[in-house]
A and B are shown apart, each in its own frame.
Chain A
């Protein structure tokens, strides 16, 4: 099974409210990623976990939090949603260490903030 599962597929949130997105994988991958995709923009990496170590991109450092309670699960947390957070959020996983290793993506969660 080479699937990455994301829940929910669609999420509606109010401005100023928190949002929590969930991702799981059963491939025993050591690395899990979160990407953000907005219309007419390239998918952009927000952060990734290598094992239990969280790495956040510099320009999104304070906007997103994440947790990885075990190898299979990873969440993306927005403390106070703004309109600019409306986007597709893609979770992905891979085994680190080999050059060119394949990254597996979930189907995404479409977040709409109103």
Chain B
């Protein structure tokens, strides 16, 4: 079936350090891949999405490239800020069809220290 794997439970960085969060997925067909971010006290919100293989999604300095060969969709940011502290979810759009159903990874909690 469809699934998403995120390995890191918690990442602690200092401001201006590089962020890299692993994500791999398993599905058939042509998936839509998302990164959602959840700030404290808020619901998850869309950070970026990619619908075409080998394409890159980007938003607010974050980037993720959909690699069909390695079935990966890693998230990265060159220089994090304290305001980036949040939980980051790698998410797979369920298939078939466009129901909007989402399959979440476990999430990675990012703590950025000033």
Residues of A within 8 A of B (CB): 4, 31, 33, 40-45, 48, 50, 55, 90, 92, 94, 96-108
Contact = CB atoms under 8 A, between A and B. Distances in A.
Contact of B51 (A4, A33, A92, A99): A99
16 contacts: A31-B100, A43-B102, A45-B101, A45-B102, A92-B43, A94-B100, A96-B98, A97-B98, A99-B93, A99-B98, A102-B46, A102-B49, A103-B100, A104-B45, A105-B43, A105-B45
A94 B34 CA distance: 15
Interface residues of B, number: 23
Interface string B24-58: 00000000101000000111111001010000000
Interface in B75-110: 89, 93, 98-107
B93 A42 contact: no
Given A105-B44, A107-B41, A43 B89 contact: yes
Given A40-B106, A99-B32, A48 B101 contact: yes
